[in-house]
Amino acid sequence: MDIHEYQAKELLSKFGVEVLPGALAYSPEQAAYRSRELGGDAWVVKAQVHAGGRGKAGGVKFCRSDAEIQTACEAMFGQKIVTHQTGPEGKGIYRVYVEAAAQIAREVYLGFVLDRSSQRVMIVCSGEGGMEIEEISEERPDSIIRATVEPAVGLQAFQCREIAFALKLDPAVVQSFVRTLMGCYRAFRDLDSTMVEINPLVVTEEGRILALDAKMTFDDNALFRHPQVAELRDKSQEDPRECRAADRGLSYVGLDGNIGCIVNGAGLAMATMDTIKLAGGEPANFLDIGGGATPERVAKAFRLVMSDKNVQAVLVNIFAGINRCDWVAEGVVQALTENPVDIPVIVRLSGTNVEEGQKILAKSGLPIIRASTLSEAAERAVGAWKHDSTKGTKMRAAS
Residue 138 Cα to chain centre, angstroms: 23
Binding site feature residues: 46, 53-55, 99, 102, 107, 199, 213, 264
> If we measure between CA atoms, which residue out of 179, 126, 128, 174 comes closest to residue 155?
179
Tell me the C-alpha distance between 341 and 26, whole Å: 41
Please list the residues that pair with 24 across neighbouring strands: 97
Q: For the chain, what is the radius of gyration of the CA atoms?
A: 26
Binding site feature residues for Mg(2+): 199, 213
Say if CB 44 and CB 101 are below 8 A apart: yes
Residues carrying an active site annotation: 109, 197
Binding site feature residues for ATP: 46, 53-55, 99, 102, 107
Which helix or strand (DSSP H or E) is residue 319 part of? strand 313-320
- Asked if the peptide bond before residue 171 counts as cis, ω within 30 degrees of 0, the response is no
Strand-strand pairing, 313-320 and 345-351: parallel
Binding site feature residues for substrate: 264
The amino acid occupying position 159 is Q
**Largest Cα–Cα separation, the chain:** 79
